[in-house]
Structure 1
Amino acid sequence: MAHTPVNHPARPVYRAIGGLVGLYFVVFGGIGVITTAGNGAFAQDDTLKVLGQGANLGFSLLSVVLGALILLGVAIGRNLDVVINQWLAYALMVLGLAGLAFLRTDANILNFSVMTVIVLLTLSVVLLMAGMYGKVGTDEEQEAWQKARLVL
């Protein structure tokens, strides 16, 4: 039995929030591709800023792909968005912490800045929240979740 709520009353709101996170990644990545197009894919330059965050062509393309994946999951629904949101949230947390660890080294291949790490970790927590409260199930699954929740 999972500990995430089933048929939460605010699940359309959480689904929309997940969609907004995906939209942010697509917009950020699109602007980043345009802004950093003349540089190398993994250029490390302090002047490469997109919406106040450090970026390069590689990170911009990664953002577009991640945002499109999130939006695809939101469009399809049927708990696919829940799985995508949760897994990508954990992956973005790992990416953000790795970016923080390599911030001032030559291993900073995605040209992260402190602001990039803050935004990435914040969006990953929001995406995780959207994934945890967006699960849809049958009435029996909801009743089983309610009973399990009340036992704890």
Structure 2
Amino acid sequence: MATHAVHERPTRRRIRFDEHLPVDHRLNTIYRIGAGLIGLFLLVFGILGVIHHIGFFDTGGDTVTGLNTNGTLSVLSICVGLLLFVGMVIGGNFASTLNMTLGVLFILSGFLNLGLLDTPHNFLAFKIQNVLFSFVIGIALMTFGMYGRVGSALPHDNPYWRARHPDAVTPEKPEGKQIPSGGSGG
């Protein structure tokens, strides 16, 4: 009878990042600043577009702060700006994940609208400066969201590094208690 060696696979647990960042961690400030600054700019851009009474699906050359806009883009900018403000208020991993997700969406929007330039389907009235702005905002949001979360040289006290390397984390000794040194005891 043949015997089969049973090899145990190391158990890989799924990392839930929302469990590993303390609320008062210094990374929280980076995530909040990123969401707040970009959310503020989008909110101002959207409000200025709405105030100018630009047509909702107008594809004319109406500009606000150097970017082409219409009513749809203005309302969309207000909604995304408010969403980023919610991320700023909540902070932590929610803000980080929100920044990364919206960053990817901004980059995808830039590519989509680049393909729609000078076509009748350009219902957001994008021009090339809007496309470039979308790329820049997308990269900025992704940078703010990924800061301290991904990379090959994260410090060992980083909560994300610790979550990915649970075996390498040394347990902390409780305060006030001495750990026996293993010498000759009496």
Question: In which range does the TM-score fall when normalised by the shorter chain?
Answer: 0.7 to 0.9
1:79–1:62 CA distance, 2 compared to 1 (3 A): same
Q: In the alignment, which residue of structure 2 is the partner of 1:42?
A: 57
Higher RCO (C-alpha 8 Å, min separation 6): 1
Q: By how many angstroms is 1:146 displaced?
A: 6.6
2: distance between equivalents of 1:91 and 1:139? Answer: 27
Deviation digits for residues 75-113 of structure 1 (CA, Å, limit 9, x no counterpart): 111311112111111111111111111111111100001
Deviation digits for residues 52-79 of structure 1 (CA, Å, limit 9, x no counterpart): 1110000000000001001101111131
Q: Pick from 105, 122, 128 the counterpart of residue 91 of structure 1.
A: 105
Q: By how many angstroms is 1:130 displaced?
A: 0.9
Q: By how many angstroms is 1:141 displaced?
A: 4.7
Q: By how many angstroms is 1:10 displaced?
A: 5.3
TM-score normalised by structure 1 residue count: 0.80
2: distance between equivalents of 1:145 and 1:95? Answer: 32
1: distance between equivalents of 2:132 and 2:159? Answer: 40
Q: How does 1:1-152 map to 2 (within 5 A)?
A: 11-35=28-52, 37=53, 39-46=54-61, 48-133=62-147, 141-145=160-164
The answer on whether the counterparts of 1:44 and 1:56 sit within 8 Å (CA) in structure 2 is yes
Q: Greater helix percent: which structure?
A: 1
Report how many aligned residue pairs link the two structures. 141
1:127–1:141 CA distance, 2 compared to 1 (3 A): closer
Percent identity for Structure 1 against Structure 2: 30
Q: Which has the larger radius of gyration?
A: 2
Runs of 4+ in 1 over 3 A off after TM superposition: 6-11, 138-142, 144-148
Partner amino acid for 1:57?
A: G
2: distance between equivalents of 1:140 and 1:128? Answer: 19
Name stretches of at least 5 consecutive residues in structure 2 with no aligned partner.
1-13, 150-156, 168-186
Partner amino acid for 2:118?
A: R
Quote the RMSD (CA, aligned, Å).
2.7
